Structure 1
Amino acid sequence: MTEAIPTTRPLSRREWLMSDRPQSRMQARLGRAYLVWSRFASNRLAVVGLGIIIALLLVAIFAGVLAPHSPVSGDLRNARLLPPGGEYLLGTDDQGRDILSRLIYGSRLTLYVVILVAIIAAPLGLLVGTISGYAGGWVDSVLMRITDIFLAFPKLILALAFVAALGPGIENAVIAIAITSWPPYARIARAETLTVRNSDYIAAVRLMGASPTRIVLRHIMPLCLSSLIVRVTLDMAGIILTAAGLGFLGLGAQPPLPEWGAMIASGRRFIMDQWWVAAAPGFAILIVSLGFNLLGDGLRDALDPRGSNQ
């Protein structure tokens, strides 16, 4: 009598991703990404926030197709301060320009500011924080006192000072906002570094002969990225509001660029009678800021290593 040979059932895609014994680094990384996405997708508000940001990206990319009119020129004689409806869905401003078209093109400026500030401020804060936390001693004291100086001033006031020194313009506004945005990232990176610099993992790397530079760049910085990504996402709303504030004061993007803060500034004169001129860009800032906040909350829950596995 022949003995039956047991057959192994092939693993499903989810079982392969969630395996507690991955066979390769790629499988481990994909499993980690799947777990993070599962946590994120279970938060409906976070998914709504992600949808808002994706919509903003699509609007910015296809602005030339979506905008029904020119964002910088209008019919001053026949289309000045028209109410929403008809040919102009959101009405027109005091120059006869279509507000909807200006909002659509303004999304490009918003993303331009947000992305550049994140690219400049986040790596700078990460570098300062990890060096400060790993080196300790007088290096830590000097870098943290510089950080405290920046944190002592309100972000908008400090940005106003830098823009006043550099001159008005969208590029100078980006530089000013980036200069004032890095200290919180440095604080977070330093706190994360202090928790891991004396761990067995870092001690083993040090015993293998790795230099301090390699330890900071290759082993400590990657451990700080999760917290940094969450903080950057949550700070996007503040960056947008700061840029809008600079534009409102005439120190950001200059006319006729369709920057949302500058649009509110030009519409405040007509707020009682032609309310839509200022309300439309204000509502756009509200929705985009809400989207970034919801997305940041979802990422914080999904990337939390203490969260329960699903």
Structure 2
Amino acid sequence: MAGSPTVSQSAGLRAWLLSSEPGSRWQARLGRAYLGWRSFSRNPLAVLGLGIVILLIFVALFADFIAPYSPIVGGDLRTQRLLPPSETYWLGTDDQARDILSRIIYGSRITLFVIVLVSIIATPIGLLVGTLSGYLGGWVDTVLMRITDIFLAFPRLVLALAFVAALGPGIENAVIAIAITSWPPYARIARAETLMIRNSDFIAAVKLQGASTPRIIFGHVVPLCLSSVIVRVTLDMAGIILTAAGLGFLGLGAQPPSPEWGAMVATGRNYLIDQWWVAAMPGIAIFVVSLGFNLLGDGLRDVLDPKAAK
């Protein structure tokens, strides 16, 4: 029968991945990843969120080839300014006769840049503070958690505004400000996870083997806290996007003529009545990408959270 070898190979690979007695750590990890993907793929909204995130990454990477026009240089201000969506300009043009679609496409790079840098900066800080606080306890826990409480006492956007006002406007300073305000929730989650596992039997066994405190924290505690923090980071992506857009809207994020979505909405607010597309199109982009990360985070929570109902 045609195709039967392929079916047989697929069944054999599936049996190898689902083996109850894996022959190596690599096989066990692949098996867990396969089970996680099967659980994830049964959630259509999570798959939709993953598709939106993949589309964002694809558009950001290949913006030079996808965008039909320059995001910076506009057309003739006399004839191409504030044009409605058409076959020539799919999403219309703005007040400087620039193609809105091209600006949204290139703006995805700024959005992805903010998301990646904030995650790289904030996640390790939150993990380190939370695991140290939960494992060491005592005065270390008191000091670190009081610092965390101070950051949590202020709304994220207000605190980010304060830091950007001190550092000065610009996308780099906006990233630093958002990262500084993003780590406290991750620290709280990591601390809660650490408190549950620090007195477990396997930690006691590692101590009996002579493992040092740094080795226990970074080799055993941090990996166990990582899945919960990853879920929270993914769910926070929407908040990061909205904070960055808010700073751009207020003129404290990416500076003109950068095609940042929040700044585009700020420009379009002057034309909401007659030329609604100038503000609506970047606003829709912010909404769709934020929704995608929320859906993806919900799906990852169902897969990675051991306490979630399967």
When normalised by structure 1's length, the TM-score is 0.95
Whole-Å separation in 2 of the counterparts to 1:304 and 1:218: 20
Residue 60 of structure 2 aligns to which amino acid in structure 1? A
d(CA) in 2 for partners of 1:220, 1:232: 18
In structure 1, stretches of 5+ residues that fail to align are 1-8
Does residue 171 of the first structure (1) align with residue 172 of the second (2)? yes
Equivalent pairs counted in the alignment come to 301
Structure 1 counterpart of 2:121, which letter? Answer: I
Most deviating of 73-82 and 218-227: 73-82
What corresponds to 2:206 in structure 1? 205
How many angstroms does 1:78 deviate by? 2.1
Match of 1:157 in 2: 158
Amino acid of the structure 2 residue aligned with 1:297: D
With normalisation by structure 2, the TM-score equals 0.95
Q: Helix, strand or coil for the counterpart of 2:179?
A: helix
* Partner amino acid, structure 2, of 1:152: A
Larger mean Cα displacement after TM superposition, 73-82 or 94-103: 73-82
Cα shift readout 1:27-52 (whole Å, capped 9, x = no counterpart)? 11111111111110010100000000
Conserved in 1, the CA contact under 8 Å of 2:122 and 2:179?
A: yes
Distance 1:90 1:103, change over 3 A: same
Shift of the alpha carbon at 1:66? 0.6
Using the alignment, how far apart are the partners of 2:244 and 2:307 within structure 1? 35
Q: Distance in 2 between matches of 1:240 and 1:167?
A: 19
* Residue 308 to residue 280, structure 1, CA distance change in 2 (3 Å): closer
SS at match of 1:126: helix
Q: Residue in 1 aligned with 2:302?
A: 301
2 CA distance for matches of 1:83 and 1:13?
53
The answer for the alignment partner of 1:40 in structure 2 is 40
Q: Stretches of 4+ moved more than 3 A in 1?
A: 306-309
Alignment of 1:260-279 (within 5 A): 260-279=261-280
Q: Per-residue displacement from partner, 1:243-266 (whole Å, max 9, x unpaired)?
A: 000000000000000000000000
Cα offsets for 1:152-198 (capped at 9, x unmatched) = 00000000000000000000000000000000000000000000000
Larger Rg computed on CA atoms? 1
Letter in 2 for 1:261: G
1:242 match: 243
Give the corresponding residue for 2:129. 128
Query: Match of 2:72?
Result: 72
* 1:56 equivalent in alignment to 2:82: no
2:115 matched to which residue of 1?
114
Q: How far apart, CA to CA, are the structure 2 residues paired with 1:56 and 1:203?
A: 45
